[in-house]
Amino acid sequence: MARLTPTRRSSRPGASDTPSVGPHVPDPHPANGADRAAGHVARVRGHHRSFGDVHVLRSIDLDIAPGEFVALLGRSGCGKSTLLRSLAHLDPSPAEEVDVVGRSAVAFQEPRLLPWKTVVDNVALALLNAPERKDRDRLARERLEEVGLGEKLDAWPLQLSGGQAQRVSLARALVPDPSLLLLDEPFSALDALTRIEMHQLVIELWRRRQMAILLVTHDVDEALNLADRVHVMDGGQMARTWEIGLPRSERSPSHPEVAAVREEILHSLGVEPTPPNPNRAPGTPAADAHDRGAA
Amino acid sequence: MSQALAPPTTAGPTPGTPTKSATAAPRRRFTAWRRWLSPVAIVALWQLASSTGVLDERKLASPAQIATAAGELIADGTLGDAVLVSVQRVALGFVLGASFGLLLALVAGLSKIGEEAVDPPMQMLRTLPHFGLIPLFIIWMGIDEAPKVALIALGVAFPLYLNTFAGIRGIDRKVMEAARSMHLTRLQRIRHVVLPGALPNTLVGLRQSLGIAWLSLIVAETIGSDAGLGYMINRARDFLLTDVIVVGLVTYSLLGLATDAIVRYLERRALSWRA
């Protein structure tokens, strides 16, 4: 299997410009020659992980196609973060069980920046193995401008707000042009407004850069807003999967399809949905549902 | 001292803007100036006691005598030569001890086997007062330069080892993991995460070890020296030249202050990220 080079920006022209319109299609351009090797960016088969007697992952199967946005939901301890760590090769994961084509990058729940490096140097660090020194700096600046931090290039991480630091962390994950971006609850520590901005930013970046994303989250609404496909994990196993075909612009919580899937997901997570508040004026229950979305 | 007594000629507040800061600045200067009052008073009392004969010249020379002696020792090059010899001893001992301490800290900090091999003996040896080793050093190395340099090196090695090792161990595991997720090699992680992460602790160790280096020098130079500040002081003792002894002591403390200032400068430069 030929590996995708990190610079495969133009290999799938237009593939994600109009994502998720209509029913989900794993690979919208199967005839594209450059895509022959790109049947998946990640393929997990019968992956098993245990710590002592505790089986954290049991026979996990998961495919992620190039450019696909997948969300992984589950309660704490269900194994979703462990699966992400396997995909990032942070934990030992045998090649026959976990195959990642091309390069993976991770944005964690905390920004995890090096406090002794400036913002731009933190981002450039992710390119240490790849390009020339002068290109590293230029690419880092470009990614930081892309996430809206062009003004903070030479700031120290300790001078940033939580949202800004998380943007740097995102730029750092993006700068090597990964084929698979792994997001480990990167928005959960942010305030609600910053979180909405970050959701928009991630969708924007994903459309522009055409990488596959695996988002691990607790937040059902976040998964429903962002992903093409939602997996719910339970007890170290894949419990259920939903394909979200609806265009992202139409995914308001009041949309009947979204509301139905949301209820199903919450049910599979063992949460009974909140009944609508009869005191609310019509038209606003959406906001109410959104507030209580985080499982 | 003369600068402290000099009138603050340029101290007047800038005219035209009688703001709060403009009135606060001279007050700060005034308190800074006041801090010099009691040291100056002590020196004045000391001089008075010497001049009136209350303080025996053979016990302690007067400040004026000490100043004169300092001028003479500087003029005939005695002090310069002595400082050069002593600084060379400290520099050699420091470089040896620091290399040794840092190397061991890296070995212990970067691998589990290294820690198990290096840390237990280091933790045991650090409780040993290193001046207590002087008799053994003299038996092993005679009374030349070797035991002096070895004593300084030994004193320097431990603070640097202990602090750097603790610094490496204290590095945020999550940041290390982020570096791994960026596919950095082990060497790159050491270069960009481990070493800069341990630097604040290493600098603390550096300050401690420089203090110990000067202390070790003073003790080491009492082992049969024929050059250096310690030699100058010992010879002055033989001739009851208390003024020369005090000049030697002041030189020791000025050298210590100078190296401390260098480390503080390094800290400001290297740790500017701690906003």
Question: Do B201 and B269 form a contact (C-beta atoms < 8 A)?
Answer: no
Which residue in chain B has the smallest CA separation from A158? Answer: B275
**pLDDT beyond 50 at A287:** no
Per-residue pLDDT reduced to its tens digit, B195-224:
999 999 999 999 999 999 999 998 888 877
Per-residue pLDDT, averaged over A37-45, amounts to 81
Strand partners, A217: A73
How far is A155 from A163, CA to CA, in rounded Å?
14
Least CB–CB distance from A158: residue in B175, B188, B275: B275
Q: In this structure, which amino acid lies at residue B219?
A: V
Number of neighbours of residue B170 by Cβ within 10 angstroms: 12
> Could you tell me if the ipTM is greater than 0.85?
no
pLDDT confidence bin for B249, thresholds 50/70/90? very high
CA A46 to chain centre: 22
> In this predicted structure, what is the pLDDT of residue B44?
93
Q: Hey, are the CB atoms on B183 and A114 less than 8 Å from each other? A: no
> In this predicted structure, what is the pLDDT of residue B261?
92
Size of interface A-B (CB pairs under 8 A): 63
Write the CATH number of the domain with boundaries A67-93+102-291: 3.40.50.300
**pLDDT beyond 70 at B3:** no
Give the Å distances, CA to CA, from A146 to A5, A154, A168, A171, A284: 22, 16, 10, 8, 34
> In this predicted structure, what is the pLDDT of residue B240?
85
Q: Hey, are the CB atoms on A108 and B182 less than 8 Å from each other? A: no
Residue B53 phi, psi dihedral angles, 5° rounding: 85, 5
> In this predicted structure, what is the pLDDT of residue A62?
93
Which domains, ranges and CATH numbers included, belong to chain B?
80-270 (1.10.3720.10)
Question: Do A266 and A225 form a contact (C-beta atoms < 8 A)?
Answer: no
Per-residue pLDDT reduced to its tens digit, A148-202:
888 889 999 999 998 899 999 999 999 988 999 999 999 988 888 889 999 999 9
Q: Hey, are the CB atoms on A115 and B274 less than 8 Å from each other? A: yes
Q: Give A20 or B213, the one with higher predicted confidence.
A: B213
Question: Do A46 and A61 form a contact (C-beta atoms < 8 A)?
Answer: yes
User: Which are the contacts of A3, defined by CB distance < 8 A and separation ≥ 6?
Assistant: A37, A101, A102
> In this predicted structure, what is the pLDDT of residue B169?
93
User: Which are the contacts of B117, defined by CB distance < 8 A and separation ≥ 6?
Assistant: B107, B108
Distance from CA of B272 to the nearest CA of A (A): 8
Q: Could you give the residue ranges of the DSSP H alpha helices within chain A?
A: 80-87, 119-125, 133-146, 162-174, 192-209, 220-226, 256-268, 285-291
Strands A237-243 and A229-234, by their bridges, are antiparallel
Strands A237-243 and A54-64, by their bridges, are unpaired
Per-residue pLDDT reduced to its tens digit, A74-125:
988 888 999 999 999 998 888 889 999 988 999 999 999 999 999 999 999 9
How far is A202 from A208, CA to CA, in rounded Å?
10
Per-residue pLDDT reduced to its tens digit, A122-143:
999 988 887 777 888 899 999 9
Strands A212-217 and A104-107, by their bridges, are unpaired
How far is A216 from A230, CA to CA, in rounded Å?
10
Q: Does A260 touch chain B (CB under 8 A)?
A: no
Q: Which residues of A touch B272 (CB under 8 A)?
A: 156
Q: In this structure, which amino acid lies at residue A153?
A: L
pLDDT above 90 coverage of chain B, percent: 58
Structure tokens at B82: 């002595």
**pLDDT beyond 60 at B161:** yes
> In this predicted structure, what is the pLDDT of residue B158?
94
- Best residue in B173, B176, B181, B185 to probe A by mutation, most A CBs within 10 Å? B181
User: Which are the contacts of B123, defined by CB distance < 8 A and separation ≥ 6?
Assistant: none
Per-residue pLDDT reduced to its tens digit, B22-73:
455 556 666 778 888 899 999 999 999 999 988 888 888 889 999 999 999 9
> In this predicted structure, what is the pLDDT of residue A8?
34
Closest CA to A225 of A208, A205, A202: A202
Question: Do A91 and A82 form a contact (C-beta atoms < 8 A)?
Answer: yes
- Best residue in A114, A139, A214 to probe B by mutation, most B CBs within 10 Å? A114
Structure tokens at A183: 């997001």
Determine if the pTM surpasses 0.80. Answer: no
Give the full edge-to-edge strand order of the sheet including A212-217: A104-107, A180-184, A212-217, A69-74, A229-234, A237-243
